[in-house]
Amino acid sequence: MPDGIGGAERRRVTLDEVARDAGVSRSTVSLVLRDSPLVAEGTRERVRASMEALGYVYNRGAANLRASRTNTVGLLVCDVSNPFFAELTAGIDEVLDGAGVSTFLVNTNESPEKQERSLQRMREQNVDGVILCPASGSSPDLVERLRRWGMPLVQALRYVSARDGDYAGSDYQLGMEMITEHLIRLGHRRIALVGGNLVHSALSDRRTGFTNAMRRHGLAPDLIVRSPLNRRASAEAVGALLDRADPPTAAIGFNDIVAFGMMLGLTDRGLEAGCDFAVAGFDDVPEAALSRPALTTVSTLPFQIGQEAAQLLLRRIVDPNGSPERVILPTRLIIRESCGAAPRRERGLTRG
Amino acid sequence: MPDGIGGAERRRVTLDEVARDAGVSRSTVSLVLRDSPLVAEGTRERVRASMEALGYVYNRGAANLRASRTNTVGLLVCDVSNPFFAELTAGIDEVLDGAGVSTFLVNTNESPEKQERSLQRMREQNVDGVILCPASGSSPDLVERLRRWGMPLVQALRYVSARDGDYAGSDYQLGMEMITEHLIRLGHRRIALVGGNLVHSALSDRRTGFTNAMRRHGLAPDLIVRSPLNRRASAEAVGALLDRADPPTAAIGFNDIVAFGMMLGLTDRGLEAGCDFAVAGFDDVPEAALSRPALTTVSTLPFQIGQEAAQLLLRRIVDPNGSPERVILPTRLIIRESCGAAPRRERGLTRG
DNA sequence: GAGCAGTTTTGGATCGATCCAATATTTCCA
DNA sequence: TGGAAATATTGGATCGATCCAAAACTGCTC
């Protein structure tokens, strides 16, 4: 029995065999593989034909061992099933795949330990670089350690230290200032900021923006509610706010999901966002335009952040000692109905 | 200048150096690395100490070249930013990461061409196996081709051929039968199935389930609407249904997103789901319990499907010639308010 | 047809681990 | 105490590519 049941155990065709078949040397075949301009047109065709005929499959593992680059990178996100990270992932995939780079994905679940293990593993895999959304509670020397490893690193969406290393994200602080200013302009004086129970830059940047805008108008930024980023908790949070002795008249969600949850909480009390209470979101997910009332929010473009992060990493891999870049995409205020500013949409489907 | 600016270009410490430092052979160090029971306790500790002292980093690339397994797998999903695929991805990551396997992620965007290129690349990377959600329009001989490559393959959520190869998914057909039966039991006679404009098994299975249930009760399954899987299109679709000469009294969405869109379409016409028209969803996303009215739907557990798919792939890698398995998770009918069956929820937050 | 520049091609060393058959060491019992 | 069995350790070959310096070809000019 030459082959075992099933016969799947085919031996791999190597460069040497292709070379023999084409009547050239292994080195020449290698050059053809890498599209080197050194090899003559006729030879190239002959080699290509042999590869085809023998069913040659390139062995990246073997190449990686010798070559300096592996054309692989690591991507560590905190929670893929959060649509925001998922969009980011899609943007990254688009750019990296286009550049012929394969991506190792890890879902850290906000666990610094899993993040640590995964980074170590990425290093063992010899990836050319890493894109990291640091888990809440990441050690602050993380960037420095990766630098010592000689491992190109781009942080995305969040950063461990505001002054260190490459980063791609949105201007959360400015975005939050804009939406807060918008509410103040509409006459609100008691405004709450709801959502977020972990510690990371994306949260503190928003808090800073909120606090800055409030203080600028002599208002107290005292209604900051720490709560999980889901609908139910947010609905409960808005209820607690309304039960206060000094209830707010408006609330900004950490993100759109929180805002939707708050609208739900209002509905359950017989109140309506945009009429009885102003609700604002953050991120502008597709659903924001389609909620009733449509959500006033701030767009943050996670897909584009992903693209930027990937491009930045590719640059850093080529030029490891270039000076760090911080790509901050602008945010945009999207005024719809939930803060009561825009005219009520008439019945029927209009563009949100 | 011994080190260049930045000094990141550290040479790698190899097994040989560790061996020299520990006063043993390279082979012994290799055995320690792989936790072989062959090596004596004292030796093991001495080697470990040397690895620590020299800052040794395992080189998986080198190991992969020689060893038969690479402990990497490929994961090809159609659309990571679809929460359903994202949950699947999270489930897969959990199991594979736990097994010490790294995952290459590719987002195929429903493009058979990108899928093809990516599979080829996975093959070149020498992955131990692949988990694939086949893109709509995948060639039917895909499974056979991977088999010829000797590449373990598990299809997830969708399959190219109903009779071929390993697969993990939900029982879409039965789920759809259950929800259709539910509506019929409530007295509905004209029922529509809305959403889905691509061709793949997850869609055709649902159609089959719907058709079967309708026929079983002598009803015509003629209201099958092909439309994109987003809210806006679904809202428009329900409008078109209501404008018909023979409008339905109930509609089932391909998934919950479609159902939410239909509820939106009803709202915009001044109608309410659960009172004036029955709306059912499919998947039971977290939001389903929190919509108003709460959505009656079918749970399909994508995270668990991911776990099952990953476990199945690991089994298949160990035993490539084992007979194919099809892991079909049961679906469950979740009755809430949107079909008018359950008593209306009183005001206030109750468990959905 | 020698010399030279430019273009192609080549063989051997190398990357850093695993595999394997052989050898060295220890243990244990007759 | 001799020797078989069990336990530890080892060196050389190997995986399949890339790198590099040298060699072999061109074509051209004088």
Per residue in B95-127, pLDDT tens? 999 999 999 999 999 999 999 999 999 999 999
Per residue in B194-236, pLDDT tens? 999 999 999 999 999 999 999 999 999 999 999 999 999 999 9
Selected for mutation to probe chain A from B60, B115, B285 (highest A CB count within 10 Å) is: B60
| Distance (Å, whole) CA B268 – CA B264 | 6
Peptide bond into A330 cis (omega under 30): no
- Nearest CB partner across the interface for A57, out of B124, B268, B321: B124
Chain A window 44-83: residues with CB closer than 7 Å to nucleic chain D are 56-59, 62-63, 65-68
pLDDT at site B342: 47
Per residue in B29-77, pLDDT tens? 999 999 999 999 999 999 999 999 999 999 999 999 999 899 999 999 9
Q: Are A99 and B86 in contact (CB under 8 A)?
A: no
Per residue in A273-305, pLDDT tens? 999 999 999 999 988 998 889 999 999 999 999
- Nearest CB partner across the interface for B349, out of A114, A268, A287: A268
pLDDT at site A11: 76
Q: Which band of pLDDT confidence, cut at 50, 70 and 90, is reported for residue B286?
A: confident
Q: Are B250 and A334 in contact (CB under 8 A)?
A: no
Selected for mutation to probe chain B from A58, A60, A303 (highest B CB count within 10 Å) is: A60
Inter-chain touch A232–B349, beta carbons under 8 Å: yes
The protein footprint on chain D, as nucleotides within 7 A of a CB, is 7-12, 14-21
Inter-chain touch A268–B83, beta carbons under 8 Å: no
Which range has the worst mean pLDDT, A43-57, A284-298, A331-345?
A: A331-345
Number of A/B CB contacts below 8 angstroms equals: 166
Q: Is it the case that residue A186 has pLDDT exceeding 70?
A: yes
Burial class for B158, CB neighbours closer than 10 Å (0-12, 13-18, 19+): buried
Selected for mutation to probe chain B from A51, A105, A127 (highest B CB count within 10 Å) is: A105
Helix axes B83-98, B302-318, angle to 10 degrees: 40
Please calculate the CA angle A156-A158-A162 and round it to the nearest 5 degrees: 105
Mean per-residue pLDDT of chain B: 92
Inter-chain touch B290–A264, beta carbons under 8 Å: yes
pLDDT at site B307: 98
CA B27, C1' D3: Å apart?
A: 29
Query: Scanning every residue of chain B, which has its alpha carbon at the shortest distance from the alpha carbon of A85?
Result: B81
Per residue in B268-278, pLDDT tens? 999 999 999 99
Domains of chain B as residue ranges with CATH:
15-58 (1.10.260.40), 72-170+302-329 (3.40.50.2300), 172-300 (3.40.50.2300)
CA A49, C1' C1: Å apart?
A: 38
- Average pLDDT rounded to a whole number, residues A37-57: 96
Q: Is it the case that residue A5 has pLDDT exceeding 80?
A: no
Q: Is it the case that residue A95 has pLDDT exceeding 80?
A: yes
Q: Which band of pLDDT confidence, cut at 50, 70 and 90, is reported for residue A10?
A: low
The protein footprint on chain C, as nucleotides within 7 A of a CB, is 7-12, 14-20
Inter-chain touch A80–B89, beta carbons under 8 Å: yes
Closest CA of chain B from A216, distance in Å: 37
